[in-house]
Each structure stands twice: as structure tokens, then as C-alpha cells.
Chain A
Amino acid sequence: MLSAPLVVGASFAYLLLLFGVAHFGDRRARQGRSVIGNAWVYAFSMGVYCTAWTYFGSIGRAASSGVWFLPIYLGPTLAMVLAWMVVRKMIRISRSYRITSIADFIASRYGKSRLLAALVTLIAVVGILPYVALQLKAIASGYAVLTTAPGASPAAVGAWWLDSTLYIALALAGFTIAFGTRHLDTTERHEGMVAAIAVESVIKLLAFLAVGAFVTWGLFDGPADIFARGRAVPDIDRLLRLEQGAPFAYAQWFALTLLAMLSVVFLPRQFQMMVVENVDERHLKRAAWVFPLYMLAINAFVLPIALGGLLHFGIGAADPETFVLSLPLAVGQHALALVAFIGGLSAATGMVIVEAIAISTMVCNDLVMPWLLRTQRFGAAADSDLGGTLLAIRRAVIVALLLLGYLYFRLAGEAYALVSIGLISFAAVAQFAPALLGGMYWKGGTRAGALAGMAAGFALWAYTLMLPSIAKSGWWPDAFLKRGPFGIELLKPEQFLGLAGLDGLTHSLFWSLLANGALYFAVSMWRGPSARDASQALLFVDVFERSSATAAGSGPVFWRGRAKVADLLGLAGRFLGRDTAQRVFADYARRAGVARVEQIPPDAQLVHFVETQLAGAIGGASARVMVASVVEEEPLALDDVMRILDEASQLRAYSQALEEKSHSLEKATAELRMANEQLKSLDRLKDDFMSSVTHELRTPLTSIRALAELMQADADMDAAHRRQFLAIVVGETERLTRLVSQVLDMAKIESGHAEWRDAEVDLRALLDQAVQTTSEMFHERGATLTLQMPQQLRTLRADPDRLTQVLLNLLGNAAKFVPREGGRVDVRLLADEAGATVEVQDNGPGVPPEQQQVVFEKFRQGGDALNRPQGTGLGLPISRQIVEHFGGRMWLRSEPGQGACFGFVLPWKGKCVAEAGRQNGEETNDDLQDPDRR
């Protein structure tokens, strides 16, 4: 055994450590360097779910029924699977409307009903008492195991003032007050407490794992050894199977899983940690798997410790719930036993601290404040600062809660196992499920429905679970359990309406949730929502659609009336403190775009803003009442709600339309800019063209002029010379004429003014004719020409003269470039489904790759400047224009040394395409209209 002062001293040292962590966290928060702003701290702070129940109770449960301790952790794992959808929505709602407790959440959803807030608070307080008692019992029995000599029975509980459990309760109350109610925060966030709870979670996990590892590998030879030895004992072997002498109670397994799944979100402390203390919704993503992993880790050694204890002490010889302490003690590991006790203390205190803070907020805001505000001294007319009063109320509530927990411990604690006590609390908070979940996803839920459902569920819970637990402890005659009240068998609490065959918990859960859900939906649908119900329902159910809009100031605010800024500022000052209120209003003024607080327009937005701020301090329901007391309100009808909603959505639609318009304007600007660029480049092209044309014109003109001047100066020039000069002048003049007519031709085609005389064209005949026309030219250069054509070819619609022009140009080019000796030109005509293809292949020097792109441009002649044959540089561009006019395409294929192959394809129905294009405007404008085509 350990000495009592040592245990007490270690416990206080540990609590002081936690307090130091909390102090550090608070100080860092004030400096703006939060220590809890990461997902790991958030996940570990959720570990407050694992209380003394886990630490001591699970082992007791495992020692009596094997794997039955598990549903309590499997349920939360399943809940965390859905957390990203469900809990995130709760966080978003709470953040948007400054909700600080689960009572506030439910009441706010149903028209900020004070009655509903009070009912939720009442259920939470009554429901949570057994749970607090459980922690007290665990610490008390753990302390007794540590400090009692082996073999001696624990001292009988004497008079109440000698009971150490009472002092444990008071000490815990003191610490909770120090943790959570040192100052008032408008958002009810306690950074220091969260940091302390995260540390507490780590400590209890490590302590439990240490004992588990010691039992598994210290006392035994690994898990295989424990299980092998356990299976040799029939009573222990039984624990490792589902059917332990009775059929497997799958209904109870299901009920426990469901219950735990609901509790992990709805227990006041879980709501506080997961929703209220959440710093960033994205942390939820990691916490969603880290928290289940934490639970898996802390449960891994439960079965080995339970079996190890049973094997070590013998079945029934020691209390399995304290195996985690008694096993190390029994083999003289006192230090380990003390560590284990600190871990258990850690689990219990963590739960008590967070639960008591959450409950004190609820009781203060939702039970005491509404009543207090109605009295003369604190009412709307009073001018006192309420901050101090609020803190005093909360402290009193914490002390009262711990004392009530102690009372329940004295009344019923001895008769029940830890797990059974905890499950009573779980079943109580499960009553929040229909109203809360229904309210988040169903707009039809009403205040009356929520009230009726929850009241009925709570009443049935109390009648079928809470009362029997007290009666079975011997404080109450249990006759009504066995025969029913007044002898009415049908009303027996544990077989209500004759429903038998279920265990007490499943039986109670079934009846209470059935009545709760049925009444919630039935009453909601019977009467339909009021204006206030409907407006809050919209804000809650569509929070993801509205929260961003609210931030921008365009969300719907369901309020109508007249208000004065000074009144609202005064009201805020009373609850938030004058300085804070002034700062908050100044912020609002800045966002509203006015210089001074007095200039803020006293509209619905402002009233909503003040109400939300107050809600953080005194709860949504009380804030509603207080705001209503300083402004002149007009009652809203359901029609008004719908109208306001319409306006808001219209506003949103307008802003969306505006956005779209500005987007399309931007697009139009970009298009215009592009068109302008194109025009500029066309302009540049035109300039280039002009300079090229004049250059080409000047060359023949220069030679004509030179020759003419020579002839003019030399009158005696001989006839032969003169004839030679005149021949050159005529040749140059012809070249000039050709050039001018080509330029004109080009200009006409480009501007779309060219005349096209379309007819049915037989390409074979056309090609034949062109080859004959040029045959003399090829003959002169000593080149051979071959022609391949199909026997039959359908006609196509085009201008035969123009096509001949194209063919002659291609053949002429080929003739110019073939070598003097052994020149060879192959002309091919091919036909396929799409159109007719003409290719002219020569065996000349070919076109170098860098020039292939430019040969189709105006005045860009192929070949180098020295041995370039005569030409205008317009033949190919004109040919291409013609081919493209008929919807075709012209190309060049050439590899150096392999000759060049010019070709074009004409579609059978190409003209229609070109025609359609021309109807839209000038060809050159096509690109303007559709810049994307490039």
C-alpha cells in the first residue's frame, strides 16, 4: 500500500501541472500565439470522451462480459466517419450565430425559445449527474485500493463529513472554477483548458499503456500467453465468445453502438470540445481519424489486463474495476500503481472540468439569466454591469453540480458498476438527437415539436431508467418495479406496456427515443412552423449557402422594427463590458463604411449583429429578449419571412448577374483588344505589300527608262541595236502589265470583289488543257512531263478559268525550277470521298524548310536571289486564295534535294462552305468575328 499523504500530494502536484499548462495556454492566447491551433491538439482534446469509465470501468466490463466494452468506442468511431458532414455543419452554425452550448444550439434553431433552452439544460444537468458520480466513485475507490493494506477490507463509509469523496468533489469544483471561470469570454472559448485537456489525454493514454505493457509482458509472457492461459479456465474462455450462456443480445449491441455514436457529439463536454472550442473546421479532417485511433490505442490492453487480473487474483477475489491499480500493487510495483492512479485521476478530472464548465454555461445562460433579467434589479431598465454576476453564477453552478454528483454517488453509486452508471447519462443526452439532427436537416421542425418530443423522451428515460436505478439501490421501495405503480402491470418501468425480453438500457432507449422522435415529427407536422421557427430553420439548414453571404452583409435578417444605436451600444456594454462593446461597434462601423459609431444605420443588420454578439455572452434566447427590450419590434408573419428571404435571394441574384456582366465585359474587351492587334498587323502587312509592289514595279521601269534614254541620246544607233533594245522594252512592259494585273487580281480576290463565273468543271479536261498549254515550255527546257488521272471523275462546281490559272501557275513554277538536263515533272490527279487532289512533283532543288512557310506569302519568291528565275512573287499567293475560295487547301511538300511537290485539294461541295462564310461578311473579317479559330 501507499501512504495517503503521498497519493494526495502526487494528485495535487498533477493538478497543479495541468493548471500550469492551462495558464500557459491562456497567456499564449492573449498574445495571439495560440497553442491549440492545430489538428492534433484538437483531436487529443476530444479524448476527454475517455473518462474513468474507460480507465477503470472498461476493464470491469471486460472481466464480466468480454468484448462488450467495445460498442462504447465503435459507436464514436462511426460517428467520426460522418463528422466531416455533420459536426462541420454544427461548427459552422455555431460560429455563424455565436452558439456556446448544446442548449443554445437547440433553442436557437427553434426560434430562440427560452423554454426549450431551459428544458435542454434540465435534461443535461439531470442526465449528467450519474456520470459525474461515476468519476467521483472511480477516484474514491482507486484511492481506497492504493491506501488500504492488502487483505484489509476498505473502511466502511462513515458520516458524510468524514467521507473523502466529498472532499474530492469539492477539490474538483475548486479546480474547475480556476480553469474555466476566471474571466468572461464572449465566445465561451477556453484555450488554456483545451491545452490542459489535450495534455491530460496524453497522460492517461501513456499511463494506461504502461500498465497494459507491464501486465502483458511483465506478469505474463505476451498476449498469446494470457489468452492461452485464459482459455484453459472455462469461466474465462466463455468471455471470448459472443454467447456467454445466453443468446447474443444483438439488440443491446446495436443500442450501445447507437447510443455511444450519439453521445460522442451530444454530451455537453463533447459539444464543448468539438464544436465550441474548435479553432478551424479543417482540423476536423485529421481529428476524424486521430480520435478513433486514440480510442483504439487506449482499448488495446483492456482485455489483456482484465484476463490477467482474473488469472492472477482468481475469479471474484478482487474488484476487476481496479485491476489497473491492484495488479501493479500486488507485485510490489508501487511507482507504477501511482502512475496508474494519476492516469485515472487525469481521466476523471478532465471529464469533470469540461463537463462542469459546459453545464455551468448552460445553466447560467439558459436557466438563471432569463429569470434574472426579468427581475427589477437586473432587468432591461437597470444600468449595472453584469459581468461579475455572470461569473458568480457560473461558479455556484459548478459547486452545485459536483455536490449533486456526490449526492447521486451516495444514493445509487454503490449498487451499480461504473459502466452502467455512465450508460444512464448516455441515454439522457441521446434525447437531444431528434430535435438537434432533425433541426439541422429538416426545415419543418417546430418549437412545439421539439418541446413535446424532448419532454416525452426525458420523462420516459427518467421513468424507465433513472428511477429504477435509484430504487434498486435500496433508497426507494422497489415494489413498483416488480408489480408496476398502483399494481398496474402494464406500467412496470422495466417492462413498459408489457415489452419484455430487452435489457433495461435497450428497453429505455427504445421507448424514450420512439416517443421523442414520433412526437417531434408528429407535432411539427400537425401545426406547421411559425415565422420565427421558419426563419431560424432557414439559417440553420442552409448554413453553408448563407454563411458566406452573411459575412458579405447580404444575408437575410429576419427582423423588422426601429432601433437606436445608442440603446444597442448601451445594452452591449452591460454584458460585454463598455470597452469591448465600443471596440466591437467601431469594427462594425468600419465594415459598414461610416466614420463614427453614431453614424451606423440602425437597421436590421445592426440589430442582428448586436444580438449575435450578446448571444455569445448570455445565450441566444436571453439575447433575443434583451435586444427586444431596447428596440421597437414589429412582429413578423410567415409571409414576411418568405418576403425577406426572397429579397435576399434577389439581392444575391442581382450581384450574380452583375458579376456575370462584368465577366462578359472583360471578355469583350479582350476580344476587342485582339481584333485591334489584328488590324494593326494587317495594316503592317499592307505597308509591306505597298513597298514590295513599288519595288517590283521600279525594276522593269528602271530598265525601260534606261534603254529609252540611251535610244534618245544616240540618234545614230544602228537598227539591229535599236530592235534589240525595243524588244527588251516590250518584254519589260509586258512584265509590268502582268504584275499590275496580278496585283489587281489579288486585291480583288482579297476584298471579295473578284468575279467568279462558276460552272460544272471537269478537272480532267482542265488538267489536260493546262498540260498541253505548257508542254512547249517543258520541251524547251528538255524536261519530261507525265500525267496520271483516273478514268472517271465527277465534276465539281468552280470557276474553270481561275482553276486553269492555278494549274498553269503550278506547272510554270515546276518548269522554272527543273534542272536543265533530265528535268522531270509528274502531275497526279487523285479523287476520294472528300474531294479531288492535284499534285505537281518536280525534281528540282526543292524548297529549304525555312522557306516553306513563306512561299505562299506575297512577293516572297523561292530560291536564292542570284539564280532565282523571273517571276512576280504573286503567283502562289493568288493560287492559294483561289483554292481557298472554293473551300480547298494548298500545300507544299519538299525535302532538300528531292524536289518540290505543290498540291491542292478541292472538296466536292466546298463552294457551299465558302458561300456560307461569305454571307457573314468580308473574308478578311472572318477572323475578327471568331478570334478563337486561330
Chain B
Amino acid sequence: MFKGLTAQRLLAVFALGWLLLNFPLLSVWDRSVIVWGIPLLPAALFVGWAVLIVLLAWITERSQD
């Protein structure tokens, strides 16, 4: 169930997701900074979210089992 490369990669992405989108890493982005016209906090949340989706797509579309 949790064996195999695909499963291990997914577990790693899951851990990454919890870290990236939760306290305390969240507070790292909490600054009064503008990136391409968008405040850093929402920009970082959406970018982190998108990164997760890209990783997820890469892993699941590659897996053969």
C-alpha cells in the first residue's frame, strides 16, 4: 500500500505540503512585500499550492502501476 516509489514520493509531497502551507513556515511569508503587484502572503500561498499540484501531476502521470 505504502510501498513502491510512487507511494514514497507521494508521502514526501504530503509532508512537504503540510510544511509549506502551515505554521510556522507560513509566518515566513507574512511580510509587507509586493511581488509583481501582489502581496507576498497570498502570492506565496498560491505559488506553494501550485507547486504541490505540479509535483502531484508529475508523480501520478509518470507512475505505471
Interface residues of A (CB under 8 A from B): 66-67, 70, 73-74, 77-78, 80-82, 84-85, 89, 222-225, 227-228, 231, 240-243, 248, 250, 253-254, 257, 285-286, 288-289, 292-293, 296, 300, 303, 441, 544
Q: How far is the CB of A765 from chain B (nearest CB, A)?
A: 65
**A and B contact pairs by CB, cutoff 8 A, 8 listed:** A77-B17, A78-B21, A80-B56, A224-B37, A224-B38, A257-B22, A292-B52, A544-B1
Q: How far is the CB of B25 from chain A (nearest CB, A)?
A: 11
Q: How far is the CB of B11 from chain A (nearest CB, A)?
A: 8
Docked-complex contact B10 and A82, CB < 8 angstroms: yes
Docked-complex contact B39 and A231, CB < 8 angstroms: yes
CA–CA, A70 to B21, complex, Å? 10
Docked-complex contact B46 and A243, CB < 8 angstroms: no
Docked-complex contact B7 and A85, CB < 8 angstroms: yes
CA–CA, A763 to B10, complex, Å? 69
**B57 interface residue per 8 A CB criterion:** yes
Interface residues of B (CB under 8 A from A): 1-2, 6-7, 10-11, 13-14, 17-18, 21-24, 26-27, 30, 32, 34, 36-39, 41-42, 45-46, 49-50, 52-53, 56-57, 60-61, 63
CA–CA, A70 to B41, complex, Å? 12
Query: A289 and B56 in contact (CB under 8 A), knowing A82-B14, A253-B23?
Result: yes
Q: How far is the CB of A213 from chain B (nearest CB, A)?
A: 16
CA–CA, A78 to B26, complex, Å? 16
Docked-complex contact A242 and B27, CB < 8 angstroms: yes
Which residue of B1, B30, B61, B63 has the most chain A CB atoms within 10 A of its CB atom?
B1
CA–CA, A198 to B59, complex, Å? 25
Docked-complex contact A67 and B42, CB < 8 angstroms: yes
CA–CA, A441 to B2, complex, Å? 11
Docked-complex contact B45 and A85, CB < 8 angstroms: no
Docked-complex contact A81 and B42, CB < 8 angstroms: no
Q: Which secondary structure dominates where chain B touches chain A?
A: helix
Q: How far is the CB of A82 from chain B (nearest CB, A)?
A: 6
Docked-complex contact B10 and A81, CB < 8 angstroms: yes
CA–CA, A292 to B34, complex, Å? 26
Instruction: Name B52's contact: one of A81, A227, A243, A300 (CB within 8 Å).
Output: A81
Complex interface: chain A residues within 8 A of B17 (CB): 74, 77-78, 81
Docked-complex contact B27 and A248, CB < 8 angstroms: yes
Complex interface: chain A residues within 8 A of B30 (CB): 241-243, 248
Complex interface: chain B residues within 8 A of A257 (CB): 21-22
CA–CA, A254 to B24, complex, Å? 11
Residue in chain B with minimal CB distance to A257? B22
Residue in chain B with minimal CB distance to A70? B45
Query: A250 and B24 in contact (CB under 8 A), knowing A227-B34, A289-B57?
Result: yes
Docked-complex contact B52 and A250, CB < 8 angstroms: no
Complex interface: chain B residues within 8 A of A248 (CB): 23, 26-27, 30
Docked-complex contact A67 and B41, CB < 8 angstroms: yes
Instruction: Name A285's contact: one of B22, B45, B60 (CB within 8 Å).
Output: B60
Query: A228 and B24 in contact (CB under 8 A), knowing A78-B18, A241-B30, A296-B53?
Result: no
Complex interface: chain A residues within 8 A of B18 (CB): 78
CA–CA, A303 to B21, complex, Å? 18
CA–CA, A285 to B18, complex, Å? 21
CA–CA, A228 to B38, complex, Å? 8
Query: A286 and B46 in contact (CB under 8 A), knowing A85-B10, A250-B24?
Result: no
Complex interface: chain B residues within 8 A of A84 (CB): 6-7, 10, 60, 63
Q: How far is the CB of A288 from chain B (nearest CB, A)?
A: 5
Complex interface: chain A residues within 8 A of B21 (CB): 74, 78, 257
CA–CA, A495 to B41, complex, Å? 32
Query: A303 and B26 in contact (CB under 8 A), knowing A82-B10, A286-B61, A296-B50?
Result: no
Docked-complex contact A227 and B37, CB < 8 angstroms: yes
Docked-complex contact A292 and B45, CB < 8 angstroms: no
Residue in chain B with minimal CB distance to A541? B1
Which residue of B18, B23, B37, B39 has the most chain A CB atoms within 10 A of its CB atom?
B39
Given A66-B41, A77-B52, A289-B60, 5 further pairs, Cβ under 8 A? A67-B42, A77-B17, A85-B2, A224-B37, A227-B37
Complex interface: chain B residues within 8 A of A82 (CB): 10-11, 14
Which residue of A66, A77, A231 has the most chain B CB atoms within 10 A of its CB atom?
A77
Q: How far is the CB of A559 from chain B (nearest CB, A)?
A: 27
Residue in chain B with minimal CB distance to A543? B1
Complex interface: chain A residues within 8 A of B46 (CB): 296, 300
CA–CA, A715 to B47, complex, Å? 119
Complex interface: chain A residues within 8 A of B49 (CB): 73-74, 77, 292, 296
Complex interface: chain A residues within 8 A of B57 (CB): 289, 293
Docked-complex contact B41 and A242, CB < 8 angstroms: yes
Complex interface: chain B residues within 8 A of A223 (CB): 37-38
Which residue of B45, B57, B60, B61 has the most chain A CB atoms within 10 A of its CB atom?
B60
Instruction: Name A240's contact: one of B2, B11, B39 (CB within 8 Å).
Output: B39
CA–CA, A608 to B26, complex, Å? 52
Residue in chain A with minimal CB distance to B34? A227
Complex interface: chain B residues within 8 A of A250 (CB): 22-24, 26
Complex interface: chain B residues within 8 A of A289 (CB): 53, 56-57, 60-61
Q: How far is the CB of B18 from chain A (nearest CB, A)?
A: 7
Complex interface: chain B residues within 8 A of A441 (CB): 1
Complex interface: chain B residues within 8 A of A240 (CB): 39, 41-42
CA–CA, A857 to B6, complex, Å? 57
Q: How far is the CB of A620 from chain B (nearest CB, A)?
A: 23
Complex interface: chain B residues within 8 A of A67 (CB): 41-42, 45
Q: How far is the CB of A546 from chain B (nearest CB, A)?
A: 13
Residue in chain A with minimal CB distance to B44? A67
CA–CA, A228 to B36, complex, Å? 11
Complex interface: chain B residues within 8 A of A70 (CB): 45
Residue in chain B with minimal CB distance to A299? B46
Residue in chain A with minimal CB distance to B40? A240
Residue in chain A with minimal CB distance to B20? A74
Instruction: Name B42's contact: one of A74, A77, A303 (CB within 8 Å).
Output: A303
Smallest CB-CB A-B distances: 8 pairs:
A224-B37, A250-B23, A289-B57, A285-B60, A289-B56, A240-B39, A242-B30, A81-B14
